[in-house]
Structure 1
Amino acid sequence: MSTTRDSQNPLAGLDLTPFAFTRRCWVDTTPDSVYRLISDVSLIETWSPSAGGVSYAPGDGPWVGAWFSGRNRRDGREWVTRSEVVQADPGAAFAFVVGGADHGIVRWGWHFREQGRGSIVQQSWRLLRADAVLGDTREDVQALHDHMADSAESTLLALAEWIAGHHTR
């Protein structure tokens, strides 16, 4: 990790290794069914406390290279992001990079595996590069990480409850 600060990017040299997490839960449906729900990005606002208005670009869908946009909320602010699907393995995994595969800032991943009559759903988040949009200090980035971890936990719990209430198989 570099200790010099770049005037263009105050986070230049920040070790990004700690800025990742994985959360998991069990849901009462098959991996194929969970994949269909998660890869339909327009449904994310059903479970996520911080995302809404998510939709694929016209003609795009749940495949690698597809783009979608959505609104994000945090601390009374709202902004729009564009993301590119980087993994689309039905029944196994779905992932996207906010900002696109080539120059993205964050990677979100979902993995699904059968367990008993249901599935373990794993959601992960990893900071790919430091960017001024994340804040000016390590503490700003840590606060974002913590917020996203809380959001992921809420999303997984809401997903499990929604599936239980809709008997999705």
Structure 2
Amino acid sequence: MTTDTVPALDPATFTFTRRAWVPAPPPVVYDLVSDVAKIELWSPTASRVRYDDGAGPVPGAWFGGHNRRGEREWDTRSQVSTADAPAEFTFVVGGLDDGIVRWRWLIAADGPGSIVTQEWQLLRLDPVLGSTAGELAALRDDMAASAETTLIALGRWLHEHATKP
């Protein structure tokens, strides 16, 4: 009898990419997404995200946050892996040495705005995320829906807060 347990799964199969056009140039978008405290303006799951005292959007910096998914709530610690203005901001939930999920923001100029890409990748298996392929797929799908909502809300926020001529 085979089982669908975490040790038999490949974390690399649990990933997604979502993209959206937003009405702002890459430097503006980068400054917003790398200021992790602003994510709660757009994300349906993240709140109270803050860099540690004295830290900011530089490789190695740590930040904490609070997350909600359905009835479940939890706190996270994340570490910045890439802060390459204005093109990429990436962090790893759990830290660079033992992280479980990587979130990557890519920003590319496109006419008067930018194409913003959010990538999510499971880096290692951890029962806290799920113990079956179905549970991990549900987590991935929930995070993909959250990323879509975040990208749409970011675009809307940029439109509403644009400096009018």
TM-score normalised to structure 2 length: 0.95
Contact persistence 1:29–1:168 (CA under 8 A): no
Aligned position for 1:22: 17
Shift of 1:76: 1.0
SS at match of 2:125: coil
Contact persistence 2:12–2:123 (CA under 8 A): no
Contact persistence 2:90–2:103 (CA under 8 A): yes
Query: Residues of 2 paired with 1:17 and 1:89: CA distance?
Result: 24
Contact persistence 1:33–1:168 (CA under 8 A): no
Equivalent residue letter for 1:20: T
Query: Residues of 1 paired with 2:130 and 2:144: CA distance?
Result: 17
Aligned position for 1:164: 159
Superposition misfits of 4+ residues, deviation over 3 angstroms: none
- Aligned in 2, Cα 1:100/1:125: closer, same or farther, shift over 3 Å? same
SS at match of 1:109: strand
CA RMSD of aligned residues (A): 1.5
- Written as runs of structure 1 = structure 2, the 5 A alignment for 1:55-74 is 55-74=50-69
Number of residue-to-residue matches in the alignment: 163
Shift of 1:135: 1.6
| Structure 2, gaps ≥5 residues long | none
| Structure 1, gaps ≥5 residues long | none
Query: Residues of 1 paired with 2:130 and 2:70: CA distance?
Result: 13
* 1:126-167 superposed Cα distances (whole Å, 9 cap, x missing partner): 000010111221111111000000000000000000000000
Q: Alignment identity in percent?
A: 55
